[in-house]
A = this chain, B = another copy of it.
Amino acid sequence: MESFVFPGNIEPEISLIASQPIPYMRTAAFSAIVKSSEQMLLNLIGCPNGRIIFYTASGTGAMDAVVANYVSRSNRIFIISGGSFGDRWRNICDYYNLPSTLYKIPFAQDIDYEDLEREVALKRPEIFLCQHHETSTGQLFNLEKISAICKKYNVSLVVDVISSFLADPLNMSDLGIDICITSSQKGLNIAPGLSFVILSDRLSSVTFKANGYYFDFKENLKNLQRGQTPYSPATTLFLQLHERLKRDVACGVDTIISTVRKRALYFRSLCKQYGWKVPAETPSNCITGFFVNRNADILFEKMIEKGFYIMPGGTPGYFRVSHLGIQDEESLSELARTIHQIELL
């Protein structure tokens, strides 16, 4: 299969790492892998003095962990929702009976940042939860503008960068983000199963809540000082992560992002050629979300029959193609041609 869903196509050398004999995690060698992965990831995300909590869990596990450890009933919570992942922040807060203000953005549109500032000035939240890229629509939000508002009104900024990290420029320190979360199978392009909470050094003296045993920040941070997780981690994924991070550091963030961007722009030129509307006002480089013109009801299954994974979009006629992982102009052209052939059936 050619995969245009996360994590995309992976280099055989990285894939094969998952088949190596499984290392024992309670060794100095494994601790060294964890410690070195932590520092590389911190450098890549622009937070060299921060800390990272590694979870064997999906990205939603990391979102849950942030709310359970960092958000209290006493905090005034402000949530941006531009789709199902923004709604997930809200659902998690509701689940724990944490009242929040939901600021809804219409499908695939950008935020009206002046209106957002008025709302923030009115509500005076203490914690701001948002996505950098709302993966369900393809819309990228402007973190510089969000960050400026949060700084002005002294709001703690928490950003889900699950699908924007290593696809769109991001520097935690410059933006003054307190917490970012991401996961293994997006920009890091390895198998799913690991997620990460990146804590800025500004939080080093914060006392976290204790509301989730497995996800507890304090217990995880204590163990990570010696390069260990408190419970058995997905060791094979850690080995893949370590190799990927070494390659990413060698390549450099700017080159990685510009490569993803080129693919995204190329595929969008094909969308234009075939007459598929890309609704995102300022799309992320991570995916292209687009409306096909015909046969949307059979497209997903027919594409699998023809050897392509693409993502259904949740909105009728809407599909998403990831630009992460191995792909080139030729493979994107073939993908678009195949979608078009199904439209013509």
Interface of A toward B, CB cutoff 8 Å: 1, 3, 5-7, 9-10, 12, 15-24, 26-27, 29, 55-61, 64-65, 67-68, 91-92, 95-96, 183, 185, 191-193, 210, 212-216, 230-237, 304, 309, 311-312
Contact = CB atoms under 8 A, between A and B. Distances in A.
Given A67-B213, A236-B191, A231 B58 contact: yes
A24 B19 CA distance: 19
Contacts of A214: 57-58, 60-61, 64-65, 215
Nearest to A55: B57
- Contact residues of A: prevailing secondary structure: loop
Contact of A22 (B10, B20, B213): B10
A19 B16 contact: yes
A95 B16 CA distance: 40
A21 B5 CA distance: 12
Contacts of A236: 18, 191-193
Contacts of A20: 15
A164 B9 CA distance: 37
A273 to B, nearest CB: 26
Nearest to A28: B301
Given A6-B232, A56-B61, A58-B232, 14 more contacts: A1-B21, A5-B24, A12-B19, A16-B19, A22-B192, A29-B304, A56-B57, A57-B214, A60-B214, A60-B231, A68-B213, A191-B235, A192-B233, A192-B236
Contacts of A15: 19-21
A232 B1 CA distance: 19
Contacts of A27: 304, 309
A315 to B, nearest CB: 15
A304 B92 CA distance: 44
